[in-house]
Structure 1
Amino acid sequence: MAGCWVRLALITVCLLPCPAQAGGKYSREKNEVDADGKAEIEFRMAKLNQVWEKAQRLQFSPVKLAELHSDLKIQEKDELNWKKLKADGLDEDGEKEAMMRRNFNVILTKYRLDGRKDAAAMDTNYLKDSMDSENDVFDDPKLEKLWNKATTSGKFNNDEVRKLRREFQHHQDKIQEYHILRETVSRNEDIYQNVISPSEAHVKEDLLHSKHTQLKDKHRNVEASFQRLRKLINQGYDKDSEFSEPRVLELWDMAKQSNFTADELDSIKEELKHFETKIEKHQHYKEQLDLSHQKLKHVETIGDKEHLSRNKEKYAMLTEKTKELGYKVKKHMQDLLARLSKGGLNHNEL
C-alpha cells in the first residue's frame, strides 16, 4: 500500500525541480517557521508552496492568485486534518488520502499548473473573473444555445440578464470541474489497477468505488444545475425569491427539496442570507482589487513615490482581504453542501 502512494506522489508533485540541497527552501526545517518563529512561506506544506510560487512566476492576475490561494488553503486544511485521522488509524483503506490527491490534481489542472501545457502559452485569464465575463462565449454548446434562447426571449430585464449571466457562468464552472475530475480519474486509473497487490484487492475495489462515486455525484450535480437553468429560462425569475446569488439559490433549492421542517428551513434561510452577504462582500473586494491593480500600474509609470507608496499599501490590503474572504466563502460553501446533502444542519452552528 505504501508503494502505491509513493508512486502517486511522484506523479502528482512533479511541478518544479526539487531543491538540490537538503535543508533548502523546502526542507522540513523551513516547512513551518524560521528560527525566530516568523513565517517565511505562504503555506505549511512544501508542495503547496511550490504551486503558489509557480503561479506567481507565471504572473497570474491578482484576482486569479487570490482564487488559487483560497483553493490551496482549503487543500492544506483538508490534508492536515487527514494527517490527524491517519495518526489515529481512521483511514486504513486510504480512501480519504486518495480523495485528497484527486482534489489536489483538480487544482493543478484547473489552474493549468500540472506541467502538461507550455507555461508560455498559458492563458493568464483562464479563470474568468465575473466582472469581465459579459462578452464571453460559453464553451458548452447546450449552454450557449440556452443562453441565446434566454437573451432573445424578452423575459428578462437588464438586471436579470446580469444575474442570469452569473448563473450560467456558475454552471460552466461546474462543467469544467467535472471534466477535470473525470480526466484526473482516468489518468490515475492504471495506478490503482497495477500498483496495489492482489492480496489487497478489497482495498483497490474500495478506492475505485470511491473515485467513481465522486465522479457520479459531480455529474449528477451538473445535470441538476442544467435542469434548473432550463426551468429558469422557461418560467423566469421568482419575483418573491429570497436570494439572487446563484450558489445560494442552488443551496436553497437543495434545502427545499429535502425533508426539513418549517423551523429548520427558517434557520437554513437565515444562514443562507448571511452566506449571500459574504459572497457579495467577496465579489466587491475582487472588483476593488482589480481596479487597485490597474491604478498601481498607472502610478508606477508616473513615478510619484508618495502616491506609489499609498497605492501599494492599499493594494496589499485588498489582496489580503480578497484572499481571506475567498477562503471563507469557499469553506462555507463546502460546509453547507456537506451538511445539506446529509439532510440536516447542526443548528448549534447557525
Structure 2
Amino acid sequence: KLYSGPKLADLYAELKIQDKTELELKKLKAEDMDKDGMKEAEVRRRLMDILERYNMKKMISVPQPEDMSNELPETFDHQLRDKKLQKLWKKAQFGGFSEWELDKLKEEFLHHQMKVDEYNSLHEDIKDDYIDNSIDLDQNKVRYMDEKKKQKKLKLIYKDLKTDYDKLEAIASSSSVKDKTFQDPRVYELWALAQKAKIPREELESFKKELQHFEHRLQKHDHYQDQLRVSEEAVRINYKDGEKPEKHTQLEQTVRDYGRKVEKYHNDLKYRISKAVQQHTEL
C-alpha cells in the first residue's frame, strides 16, 4: 500500500537514515571492522523494523529513499502539464487523503488539465489568426470579428479555469492530518527527517524555527508566482507577441531573484539536515 501525507514523509525519513547506516556498514565491512557481524545484524534488524511498521514486509524489493518522494505513476504525472496543477497535486499528496480520495482527485485534476489545454489551443488559434494587412479590407473585417469572438471566449474560459482551480485548491488544502506543524511538503520532509535523526531537543527546536521561517519565504515566493501567472494571462490576452508592460517585467525579475534565494536556502537546509543525520545516526 502506498502512503500519502506525513506518513509518506516519515517513511522517507526513516529510509533516508537507513541508507546512511547501510553506507556506514559497508565502510566497516570494507575495513574488516565487523568480524562478528553484530553491526550488520543491527542494521538488518532496523530495516526489518521499518518494513514491519509500514506493512512492507511482503514487498519483493524495498524502494530507494529518493523514489519515495513521489507516489504518482509516471504516466499520470506527465499528464499534468500545468505547473500550478503539478504543485497543487503534490500538496494534495501530503494532505492526508485516502487512496480512494486521491483517485477521485485525479479525475478532477485531469478534467482541469483538459480545460487548460483547450484554453492554450484557443490562444494559439488567436495568434495564428492575427490580422494580416496584406489581405483585402472585407476579409480583414471578417477575421477581426472572428478574433473578437475568440477573445471573448478566451476570457470566459480563463474565468472558468480560475473558479475550477480555486475549488481544487480548497479541496487540496482541506487536510485531515492532525499534525499541521508545516503545510508545505518540502518543509515537512525536512522536518520529518530532522525528527528521525536523533538530534538533541534544543537543536531540533532551533531547526524547527528556521523551517518556519523558510516556509514563510516559500509562501511569499508562491504569492509572487501567483501574481506573475495572473499578469501573464493579462499580457497574453491584451498585448501582441513580445510586448510587455514595465510592471510585468519587474514582476518577472522579482520572481527570478526571490526564487534563487529560496532555492539556495532550501539547498542549504537539505545539506545541513543531511549532515546532522550523519552525525547523529548510530549503528
Smaller-chain TM-score bracket: 0.3 to 0.5
Name the TM-score, length of structure 2 as normaliser. Answer: 0.39
Name the TM-score, length of structure 1 as normaliser. Answer: 0.32
